Amino acid sequence: MRTNHVLIDFENVHVKSLDLLDGEHYRVIVFLGPKNTKLPVELVIAMQKFGARGEYVMLESPGANALDFHIAFHLGRLATEDPSGFFHIISKDTGFDPLIQHLKARKVFSARSTSIEQMPCFRAGSTPAPAPAPAPAPAPAPKSLPASQPEATAPSTVDALCTVAIAQLVAMKRARPAKLSTLHSTIQAKLGKDVPRSTVEKVCSELMRRGMVKASGQRLAYAIPTQE
C-alpha cells in the first residue's frame, strides 16, 4: 500500500486529532515554529502512539517563510527516499500550491489540504485506497520460556505505559522531576504499585530512547511540549 506522508504546518493549522491517520501507511511530521511551545495534550499523546511513524521538526529561530522552507526541504527528502509515496501538506497557505504543481508535473503524488479531513483520501468521492495485501499466514506459536527465565514486558505494554507517563509529564508542566530517581518514583506513583519496578525502569528508558527525557548525570531535561 502506498505510504501517505502528512506534513503539518502547525504555525498555520492547529491540528489536534490524528484519528483519521490510523494505519501503518500513514506517517506524520509536525512542523513547529519558535512560538509553538504549547501543544494540545491530545496531539502529543497521538504522536507518541505513532512511534517511529511520527516526528516533530521545530524551528529554533524565526524568519520570513522559514517554516515553509523546512517543509519543502523535508518533502523533497522524503520524495527521494519514497518516490512512490503520496505527500500531503496540511496548511491554509496557498504559497505551497506552486510547489505542489511542480511536484505533480514530475509525477510525484502530492496535495495541499486545509485540514486532515480535507485530504484527498478522505474527501467524499475520492478514489478508494487500494486493498491491503493478504495477511501472511500466522507464525507458529512461540515456545514458552523456562520457569527460570521471566517473560519480558511486551513492547505494546511499554508503549501504553509510556503514553500514560507522557500525559502525566505534560500535565506537570514546569514541576517535572529534576532527578532520575524522582522521575522513577513519579512514574511509579502514576502507574500504580502493581506495576513492577523493572517495568517502570523500562518506561523511563523508552522515554530517553525517544529523546523526550535527557539525562546529564542525575539531572534531567525534557523535550515534551506543555499543554495548552
Give residue-wise pLDDT tens across range 114-132.
999 999 988 754 544 444 5
Domain coordinates in residue numbering, the chain: 4-118, 155-227
The whole-chain average pLDDT of the chain stands at 83
Give the pLDDT confidence of 146-194 residue by residue, as tens digits: 544 444 455 557 777 877 788 778 777 778 888 888 888 888 888 888 8
Q: Do domains 4-118 and 155-227 have the same CATH topology?
A: no
Residue 138 has a pLDDT of 67
Q: Decide if pLDDT at 136 tops 70.
A: no
Residue 28 has a pLDDT of 96
| Percent of the chain surpassing pLDDT 70 | 84
C-alpha 41/C-alpha 136 separation (Å) is 36
C-alpha 159/C-alpha 137 separation (Å) is 26
Nearest CA among 94, 99, 87 for reference residue 114: 94
Residue 139 has a pLDDT of 64
Tell me which fold the domain 4-118 belongs to.
Rossmann fold (3.40.50)
Q: Decide if pLDDT at 10 tops 70.
A: yes
Residue 211 has a pLDDT of 80
C-alpha 225/C-alpha 228 separation (Å) is 9
Q: Decide if pLDDT at 100 tops 50.
A: yes
Lowest-pLDDT choice from 137-141, 179-183, 206-210: 137-141
Residue 151, all three cell numbers: 517473560
Give the pLDDT confidence of 56-73 residue by residue, as tens digits: 999 877 778 889 999 999
Q: No. of H helices and E strands in the chain? A: 6, 9
Q: Report, as an integer, the average pLDDT of 3-26.
A: 93
Cβ atoms 71, 11 nearer than 8 A: no
C-alpha 192/C-alpha 165 separation (Å) is 11
Nearest CA among 58, 108, 50 for reference residue 78: 108
Helices 97-105 & 66-81 angle (0-180, nearest 10): 20
pLDDT top residue among 23 and 212: 23
Per CATH, the number for 155-227 is: 1.10.10
